[in-house]
Amino acid sequence: MTQVLNPKRGYTGVIDEVRLLDFIQLSCLSKMSHSVLVESRHGKGDILVDSGSVIHAEADGLEGEGAFCEMLSWDGGRFQIGALPEERTASINRSWEYLLIEAIRYGNERAASTGAKGKCDSHSNGRGFSGIIEAIVLTDLVQLACMTRMDRVFVLESAGSVGKVYVRGGQVCHAEAGGLTGEDAFCELLKAEGGRFETLPYDGSIEPTIMKPWEYLLIDAVRFLDEQSGIPDDEEDEAGQDGEGSEEKNESLVQRLQRLKVSEKIRIAMTGDKESRVLLIRDSNRMVQLAIINNPRITEGEVTSIAYSRNVDEEVLRRIANNREWTKLYQVRSALAKNPKTPLAISIKMVQTLPANDLKEISRSKSVPAAVANAAKRHILQKR
């Protein structure tokens, strides 16, 4: 099939062994609008995504959430991306986050009832889906590859130049562009406006030149591009002025942030004002949340609030716990110890630094894990 691509719109190519769940998640995170025609040995169906929201699904006589969950339980096949129909049915009105959670639950329950291995929560199950992806920016392509935990080499052709990105086990381990390698090459590839990509098997013969997690790699890469393009740090000029604006202005800011792509949210999260950070920390994307705590203007009060939050990713809480300046603050240590989302080892470590009144509260708490409550009880006895 011959594809014509405007280079400014991103990359086009065939991708395979992708979980349908991961592709839908990326479509929603990146605020995409398209139809996804799905064909599998289990059946055929269609999913409509409009500006990052799943609005309709139908498959083999099913419609709405039931059809959506059914298709996401399928273990492999093909997908085809198309434009949204002008006249379209809206059979789904829940958030995409809720839908994906329900789809995972549905797949696990179905697998348990048949005695099969879970479909939706396994990355090793089946061969996944394949199809042509058009006009996808490199950051989104890399994110999809890492979420799916691929072992792949992406060959990128753009304006006469060729580069490569190596992904192993869901992590970017190497990149090449011209005479550059590693992170420098990866940042160089991000400068290209688009072109074509091809995927090749990764045989493990390349010595890794990139060690950091892919989320941090993309955050640093976006920061690098901003520095190269001269984008000012004062993103609040674009995303909002002072936090004391009117309710109308705040609603406008919420709407504007919701329309942004993930890469744009990351840029604002890294450089924007407090109002933007408070709104963006609610974003479910881990990269956006990590970018916020990397913002040099983040306040101790914000860090404490994030440490208390049960809606942030575990990696964010782990990053806060690893910052010595932040854990010098009693409020941060207390928040991490009391947050049931905090990794267990970190919670227990923080418990050991707290005064008696906190220990008593934690020992009686029903919201913290039993191991944390027991650690608080032991520490109370040791202090007597």
Give pLDDT, residue 372: 95
Q: Mean pLDDT, the chain, as a whole number? A: 84
- Neighbour order of strands in the sheet with 34-40: 62-63, 53-59, 43-50, 34-40, 76-82, 128-136, 10-18, 194-201, 152-158, 161-168, 171-177, 180-181
What residue spans define the domains of the chain? 20-122, 137-230, 231-298, 312-384
**pTM of the predicted model over 0.85:** no
Overall average pLDDT of the 227-233 stretch: 59
Supply φ then ψ for residue 248, to 5 degrees: -65, -40
What is the distance between the alpha carbons of residues 205 and 170, in angstroms, rounded to a whole number? 17
Closest CA to 47 of 19, 75, 80: 80
User: DSSP secondary-structure letter at 118?
Assistant: P
User: Is the pLDDT reported for residue 4 higher than 70?
Assistant: no
Q: What is the pLDDT of residues 36-48, one digit of tens each?
A: 999 999 999 999 9
Using a CB cutoff of 8 Å and minimum separation of 24, what contacts does 113-120 make? 119/73, 119/74, 119/75, 120/21, 120/72, 120/73
User: Is the pLDDT reported for residue 346 higher than 90?
Assistant: yes
User: Is the pLDDT reported for residue 374 higher than 90?
Assistant: yes
User: Is the pLDDT reported for residue 261 higher than 90?
Assistant: no
Q: 139 versus 48: which is more confidently predicted?
A: 48
φ/ψ region of 29 (left if φ > 0, alpha if ψ in -120 to 50, else beta) reads alpha
Give pLDDT, residue 239: 44
Q: What is the pLDDT of residues 140-174, one digit of tens each?
A: 899 888 888 889 999 999 887 899 999 998 899 99
Give pLDDT, residue 193: 84
Q: Residue 302, exposed/middle/buried by CB under 10 A (0-12, 13-18, 19+)?
A: middle
User: Would strands 180-181 and 34-40 be described as parallel, antiparallel, or unpaired?
Assistant: unpaired
User: Is the pLDDT reported for residue 235 higher than 50?
Assistant: no
Confidence of residue 297 (pLDDT cuts 50, 70, 90): confident
Q: Which of 43-47, 98-102, 260-264 has the lowest mean pLDDT?
A: 260-264
What is the distance between the alpha carbons of residues 144 and 140, in angstroms, rounded to a whole number? 6
Instruction: Specify which residues 177 forms β-bridges with.
Output: 163, 180
Overall average pLDDT of the 234-249 stretch: 47
Count of beta carbons in the 10 Å neighbourhood of residue 340: 13
What is the distance between the alpha carbons of residues 222 and 22, in angstroms, rounded to a whole number? 22
Overall average pLDDT of the 59-85 stretch: 94
User: Is the pLDDT reported for residue 237 higher than 80?
Assistant: no
Overall average pLDDT of the 122-138 stretch: 75
